[in-house]
Amino acid sequence: MSTRTLNLNDQIYHYILDNSLRERPIQKALREETSKLTMARMQISPEQGQFMQLIAKLMNVKNVIEVGTFTGYSSLAVALALPEDGHLIACDINEEWTVSGGHTQIYQ
């Protein structure tokens, strides 16, 4: 897992996360579950997810296409920033990672 994007010592990094990360329980659960996988390094860090949410919110994004979703943390982060009439299309060809949540629809 990409545990961090900021090049800080552990104490400062954890202080920043503890005091500025606005991660919903479902995001934290997904991130922690993904961290147990052998390919966990493919996941974005929590601060990256929060930044993606901020950008989507500031730009009033209504439509998103994500190519390469892994377990969906970044998709979830952006989806949470979309308005009620927003749409997210998340594409990935690896069924091992994308089907595990049970809510994935696969188009062939």
pLDDT in tens, 62-90: 999 999 989 899 999 999 999 999 999 98
CA gyration radius for the chain?
14
Question: What pLDDT digit, counting tens, does each position of 45-56 carry?
Answer: 898 999 999 999
pTM of the prediction?
Answer: 0.78
Phi, psi of 66 (to 5 degrees): -115, 125
Q: Which helix (H) or strand (E) holds 88?
A: strand 87-91
The greatest distance separating any two alpha carbons of the chain, rounded to the nearest whole angstrom, comes to: 46
What token pair was written down for 31?
A: 């991130």
Alpha carbon distance 38, 85 (integer Å): 36
Domains of the chain as residue ranges with CATH: 10-98 (3.40.50.150)
